[in-house]
Amino acid sequence: MFRVLVTGAAGFIGSHLVDALLARGVTVIGLDRRRLGEHALADENLAAAVSDPSFTPCHLDLATDHLDDVVKGCETVFHLAARPGVRQSWGSDFLDYAQTNVLGTHRLLDACVRQGVGRLVFASSSSVYGPTNRPSREDDPTCPISPYGVSKLAAEHLCLAYARRPDSQLSVVALRYFTVYGPRQRPDMVIGRILFSAYTGFPMTLFGDGSQHREFTYISDVVTATIAAAHLDVRATVVNVGGGASVSMRGVIDEASKVTGRQVPIKVVNAQPGDVPATAADLTRAGRLLGYWPTVGLHEGLARQAAWLVDLSRDRLATFTS
C-alpha cells in the first residue's frame, strides 16, 4: 500500500489504524466529520498523526459531501466511519444511523467504483449476528436485534453487493469486530466505564445481572487484522475479528479489580433493549485467510488500558470520560 483513505480516522479504532499505517510508511488520508481544532477527542486521538507529513486530515461528511476527490488515487479504503452505539440507536436518533452508516456507505462505494479503487475494508460488527448460543461463524444466519445492528448489516450487504458487480474492480473484506477495547476507547464503552469506576469510586452502571458474556478484542489485534485484510486475495468476503474468549461481565469486573487493585462499585439496572446475552467469535476463517489469532489476552489488555488511563492528565482525562 502506498496511498490509502481511512474514514472515521479521528475515532478510537480509526486513529490507531492511522498510526499503524503511518508507521509502515503509508500515505494516509484521514477523513472524519469532526473538524480538528474544534473537537477535543478528535484532536487527542490524532495528536501524533497530525505531525507526520504523510498524513492529510480531511473534514468531510460521507452522507452529504463530494467524495470523488478524496478517494481518487487511493489503492485501499478502510471504511471505519459510523454512528456507534446499540442503546442510542432506538428512537429519533436512528435518522443519523441511517444517514451515516447506510447512506454514507452507499455514497462512498459509488465514489470508489467511479475512481477505480481496488480494495475496501469495511468495519462491520458482531451486532449483525443477534442472539446466539455458540461461537458465531461467518456463514451463520444474521438477525440483529437493535437498529444499530440493522444499520451495520445493511452497510455490510451494500459493500458486498458493490464488490459483486460485474463492472466493478472493487473488492471488499468486511470485518465483524467483537467489542474492541484499549487506549482511546469511547467513554460510553464498558471497559472504560469499569476502569473509571475503579479509580474514582463512582458506581458503574451494570445493565442486567452481569451473567451476559462478551468477546473483548484488544485494539492492536484489531489493527493487525484490518491491515492484513487489505492484502487478502478475494472478491467479497466476511471475516470475524475477536479476542479468543468470551467472558461474563462479572468476570470482567473481577479482572479489572485484580488489575487496578481496587474494587469496582456497581449499580445494577435492568438489561437494555438490543443487548444480546452473549457474543463469541469462531476465528477459523480469520486464521485461514488472514493468519490472524489474537495476541493480547483480557488481563494484559486491561492492564494496558488502565496504565494509559492513569497516565492521562486531568484535562485529557476529561476528554475521554465526559
Measured distance CA(195)–CA(204) in Å, rounded: 9
Measured distance CA(209)–CA(59) in Å, rounded: 42
Which of 58, 48, 57 has the alpha carbon at shortest distance from 23?
48
Residue tagged 467472558 (cell numbers): 247
Q: Residue type at 94?
A: F
- Helices 190-200 and 314-321 pack at an angle, to 10 degrees, of 140
- The yes-or-no answer on residue 148 being catalytic is yes
Catalytic-labelled residue, pool 129, 148, 218, 292? 148
Measured distance CA(38)–CA(57) in Å, rounded: 13
CB of 246 within 8 A of CB of 214? yes
Show which residues are catalytic. 148
